[in-house]
Amino acid sequence: MSAAVRISIRVKPRASRSRVLRAEGLDIEASLAAPPVDGAANAELIELLASVLAVSKSSLRLVQGEKAKNKLVELKGLSVDEATTRLAAAVR
């Protein structure tokens, strides 16, 4: 099994829709439709990443930035190359 991969994320809450805006390796920027209230934006971020990376939500864990715009998410089950490729493909 591969080691955990850490993804650095800058989030923009209260956007019109949730999506990956920019991906440079494992450093990404994402817009989130949810407001930063009661963990809603964090939950939306985990759902977005699970969808984009094609992994289960349980393989993602917020490790830093619970109440900040800059976050660090740990991903288990994918290699760095797989994660980087899938994040880059998600940019629209």
- Domain boundaries in the chain? 5-90
pLDDT of 2 reads 61
Q: Which CATH architecture has domain 5-90?
A: 2-Layer Sandwich (3.30)
How many whole angstroms separate alpha carbon 44 and alpha carbon 42? 5
User: Which pTM does this prediction carry?
Assistant: 0.94
Helix (H) or strand (E) holding 60: strand 60-64
pLDDT of 86 reads 97
Percent helix, percent strand, percent coil in the chain, to nearest 5: 30, 35, 35
Write out the chain's pLDDT in tens, 92 residues: 568 999 999 999 999 999 999 999 999 999 999 999 999 999 999 999 999 999 999 999 999 999 999 999 999 999 999 999 999 999 96
Per DSSP, helices labelled H in the chain are 40-53, 80-90
Query: Which neighbouring-strand residues pair with 6?
Result: 74
